[in-house]
A and B are shown apart, each in its own frame.
Chain A
Amino acid sequence: MPVLSAHNLCKTYGAQTVVNGVNLAIEKSQCFGLLGPNGAGKTTTLRLLLGLIAPDAGQITMLGQDIPRQARIARQRVGVVPQIDNLDPDFSVIENFMVYGRYFGLTATEIEQRIPALLDFAGLANRADAKIQDLSGGMKRRLTLARALVNDPDLIFLDEPTTGLDPQARHLMWQGLRRLLSQDKTIILTTHFMEEAERLCDRLVILDHGQLIAEGAPRDLIEQHIEPSVTEIYGENVAHWRSSFAAQFCLRHEYVGETLFCYSTDGAALIQNLHAQTGLRYLHRPASLEDVFLKLTGRELRD
Chain B
Amino acid sequence: MAMQRNTFTAPVLSLRFIPVWRRNYLVWRKLAIPAILGNLADPMLYMLGLGFGLGSLLPSVAGVPYIAFLAAGTVCYSTMNSATFEVLYSGFSRMHVQKTWDAIMNTPLTLDDVMLGELLWAASKSLLSGLAILAIIWLMQLQANFWFSLWIIPVVALIGFCFAGMGLVMNAVSPNYDFFLYYFTLIITPMVLLCGVFFPVSQLPAILQNVSAFLPLTHAINLVRPIMLGHMPTQAWLHVLVLIAYGALGFYIALGLTRKRLLC
Contact = CB atoms under 8 A, between A and B. Distances in A.
A109 B15 CA distance: 20
Contact of A100 (B26, B30, B103): B103
Interface of B: 1-3, 5, 16, 19-20, 22-23, 26-27, 30, 98-100, 102-110, 263-264
Contact of A88 (B103, B107, B109): B103
A203 to B, nearest CB: 24
A101 to B, nearest CB: 9
The 10 closest A-B pairs by CB, nearest first: A86-B99, A103-B107, A80-B106, A12-B2, A102-B19, A86-B103, A90-B27, A72-B108, A75-B108, A76-B108
Interface string A38-79: 000000000000101110100000000000000011011010
Given A86-B100, A88-B103, A54 B108 contact: no
A243 to B, nearest CB: 51
A64 to B, nearest CB: 15
A82 B100 CA distance: 11
Contacts of B30: 90
Given A75-B106, A100-B103, 4 more contacts: A12-B1, A12-B2, A15-B1, A73-B108
Nearest to A89: B98
A169 interface: no
A86 B3 contact: no
Contact of B104 (A50, A54, A103, A105): A103
A174 interface: no
Contacts of A52: 105-106, 263
A95 B103 CA distance: 15
Nearest to B99: A86
Given A95-B26, A99-B23, A86 B108 contact: no
Contacts, number: 67
Interface residues of A, number: 31
Nearest to A98: B26
A213 interface: no
Contacts of B23: 88, 99, 102
A251 to B, nearest CB: 45
Q: Which of A56, A76, A90 has the most CB of B within 10 A?
A: A90
Interface in A210-226: none
A100 B107 contact: yes
A13 B108 contact: no
A114 B105 CA distance: 22
Q: Which of A76, A80, A151 has the most CB of B within 10 A?
A: A80
Contacts of B26: 91, 95, 99
A128 interface: no
A80 B1 CA distance: 31
A40 B64 CA distance: 69
A82 B99 contact: yes
A102 B16 CA distance: 10
Contacts of B16: 105
Given A72-B110, A75-B108, A102-B19, A56 B3 contact: yes
Contact of B102 (A72, A86, A100, A104): A86
A150 to B, nearest CB: 9
Q: Which of A82, A88, A95 has the most CB of B within 10 A?
A: A88
Contacts of A86: 98-100, 102-103
Given A14-B2, A82-B99, A90-B30, A50 B22 contact: no
B27 A91 contact: yes
Given A82-B99, A84-B99, A88-B98, A75 B107 contact: yes
Nearest to A72: B108
Contacts of B108: 72-73, 75-76, 103-105
A163 to B, nearest CB: 16
Nearest to A103: B107
B131 to A, nearest CB: 23
Q: Which of B20, B22, B107 has the most CB of A within 10 A?
A: B107
Given A56-B2, A82-B106, A88 B100 contact: yes
B17 to A, nearest CB: 11
Given A12-B1, A13-B2, A99-B26, A53 B106 contact: no
Contact of A103 (B3, B19, B98, B264): B19
A90 B2 CA distance: 39
Contacts of B99: 82, 84, 86
Nearest to A16: B2
Interface in A186-213: none
A99 B19 contact: yes
A15 B20 CA distance: 37
A231 B107 CA distance: 47
Contacts of A53: 263-264
